[in-house]
Amino acid sequence: MLQQHAARLTHRDVRQRRRAVRKLFELDDPAALVHFQPLLDTGDGWSNGKAADAYRRWFGPEHEALGDQLVDDSRSEVRLLAAEILPRLGEAARPHLSALAESAESDVRLQAYTGLVALSGEDLGTVLEQAAVEEHHSVRRLAALRAHALDEEQAKELLSKALKDGHHRVRGAALESIGLLSDVNSFRDSL
């Protein structure tokens, strides 16, 4: 059944193609994901959206090669999708997310750092330090919001810098994070 519907994804008639996409979704089979990859490259917005939905729904460790293709894509919306779903691979996603964290688009960098933070254990401090010096305020804000999870000394250092940040959202995130610390009084002078 899967192959029958997948074969119709390249049909000349757009109605046949869309019916095939709907039928593949109804099957709810992660093996169908490989058939959605070419739909990301079509000029049809509906097909692109459905392909992205399929990746969000079924992407897992068995699809690591498909994830590699997303990371290498030239379109920012595809790289953003990659940054969103790659953390499902666990540690195998770390090099890809690090590469996406150097992307030109701030939304891709933010999503990549969000994934790196989710994967981090002992190296959370290193990831947050890198995020704290990012160009875009949304990434610096992420670092400030998560700083309370660091050990006390690292948290104080990162949050002190965030309180002096030029963007009000980063400063607000620092205040939120300070409220979650056990030693709020140590920031009395900074505030």
| Residues 15-68: tens digit of each pLDDT | 998 999 999 988 899 999 999 998 888 878 888 899 999 999 999 999 999 999
**pTM across the whole model:** 0.88
Give pairs for 126-135: CB < 8 Å, separation 24+: 128/154, 128/158, 129/158, 130/101, 132/158, 132/161, 132/162, 134/109, 135/106
Judge contact between 75 and 108, C-beta under 8 A.
no
Q: What percent of the chain has pLDDT over 90?
A: 66
- Bigger pLDDT: 190 vs 160: 160
| Residues 99-146: tens digit of each pLDDT | 999 999 999 999 999 999 999 888 899 999 999 999 999 999 999 999
Which pLDDT score is estimated for 189?
61
